[in-house]
Amino acid sequence: MNRGKPLRRGKALKAGKPMRRGKGLEPGKPLKRNAELPRDGRGPDESREGPRMRCKGKTYSSAEEARDTLYGRRGNRVVECEPCGGWHVKLDPEHARKISAARREREPATPEQLAVRAEKRFAKAVREGAVPEFRPDLGPCLIYAGGKNSGGYGQFRYNGRGGYAHRYAWERVNGPIPDGMTIDHLCRVRACVRLGHLEVVDTVTNFLRAVAAWDCCPAGHPYTEENAAKDARRRCGICEAETRQRSEQKRRKLKPGDPDPRVRYDQDKVNEAIAQILAGELAILRAARDIGCSDRYLGRRAWRTAKRRVLLRDSGICQACGALAVDVQHRVARGLGGTRDPKRAYGMCNLVALCRPCHEIAESRDQGMYNRGFWLLSTDDPARLPIRAATEYGEELRWLLPDGGVSLADPYEEAAA
């Protein structure tokens, strides 16, 4: 053993040597093995009248205070704790078992009782709000002050399940909401639950009203006739002009003779390959290998061109409901046909223009959308199956042709005749 060096705690205990530092011990006093260690600054022989310990459980200053608690009133024992000098409530295992058995034998609440409880909870969670800026003529809002989701809609649990506060406010007076319908906030305050500010509409109308209510872009530029683009996307002209200006400034910083970083490939070859891909004469992987670019880059370029052609063919109108179209639907899903098959991924007879709500309904494999031809099975031929497009006078059959045209009669029957 090296002399002159301080011993570690374990070695000091084994050798019976004095510890150099100790809490509550005098310097140089030997510490025997298995001796009681100091606690809270007290030595082993210090009087208990000094500082007290801190227990992990709930501590009360008097027995009356402990008996007045919830567990104390249930008949549990109240004992005094000597180390900390306080009072604790000791749970009786037999009493706890009796309470658990009584809860299991208790009958569940009836729907009427649940409705009464939900009514009381809802009445406690509503507050009077301010007059909405969007529609001051509707009067002040009635704000739900309970929990809300990330979108600002009130969350409320009723009928044994979770839901929205504004839907509960409508259903408790007018009954269940019909299928395919939703609640629209006329005041544009998502936490409002006043019946005069709510209206039952279909999802398409709700979406179009929300788009029309946008008065400025995310950067704060107001949507005016000169600034907003003439489509449902409500693009901001000021933001697009600023983006083009920054791109032009970045491009002009290049030295003379340096290539433009925006043009990485031969654009003539790229455009020619895209035309062959859309015609179904060339696969994306083969075209990307010939040009020397990635298949992802070429696929994005081909999809933008195909989407623009479909929106021009359908005049930018949703073929399912007649609203403004912002999306393009694959009638036979890309996962069934694969993106490597150009006729399935970019074929004009397999693509149809839809608005965002109708696109989501078609993606959910709705039976009504299948009957109208807006989504098909992998065994179906989109060129032979028409769509039932919405018009002013109802629905009409339309056959989508591979060359990008539309026919109101079956082209295959005419060819056979």
- Extended strands (E) in 278-414: 327-330, 351-354, 387-391, 394-400, 406-407
Identify the segments of the chain with pLDDT beneath 70.
1-57, 70-75, 82, 91-92, 95-96, 218, 225-234, 249-264, 335-344, 414-417
The pLDDT tens digits of the residues spanning 310-349 come to 988 988 889 998 888 889 999 988 765 444 566 667 788 8
**pLDDT given at position 13:** 46
**pLDDT given at position 49:** 43
CA distance 28 to 17: 9
Length in residues, the chain: 417
Residues with Cβ within 8 Å of 333's Cβ and at least 6 positions away in sequence, in order, are: 375, 378
Instruction: Note the Cα 13 to chain centre separation in Å.
Output: 60
pTM above 0.85, yes or no: no
Q: Residue 103: how many CA atoms within 13 Å on its side-chain side?
A: 6
**Which residue bears the tokens 């002399």?**
3
For the record, the structure tokens of 349 come out as: 């007879």
332 forms beta bridges with: 376
- The domain limits of the chain are 111-212, 214-255, 301-416
> 128, 192 in Cβ contact below 8 A?
no
CA distance 152 to 210: 15
**pLDDT given at position 42:** 41
**pLDDT given at position 225:** 67
CA distance 149 to 211: 21
**pLDDT given at position 401:** 87
**pLDDT given at position 139:** 93
The pLDDT tens digits of the residues spanning 87-100 come to 877 766 776 677 77
What is the phi-psi region of residue 318: left when phi exceeds 0, alpha when psi lies from -120 to 50, beta otherwise? Answer: beta
Architecture of domain 111-212: Alpha-Beta Complex (3.90)
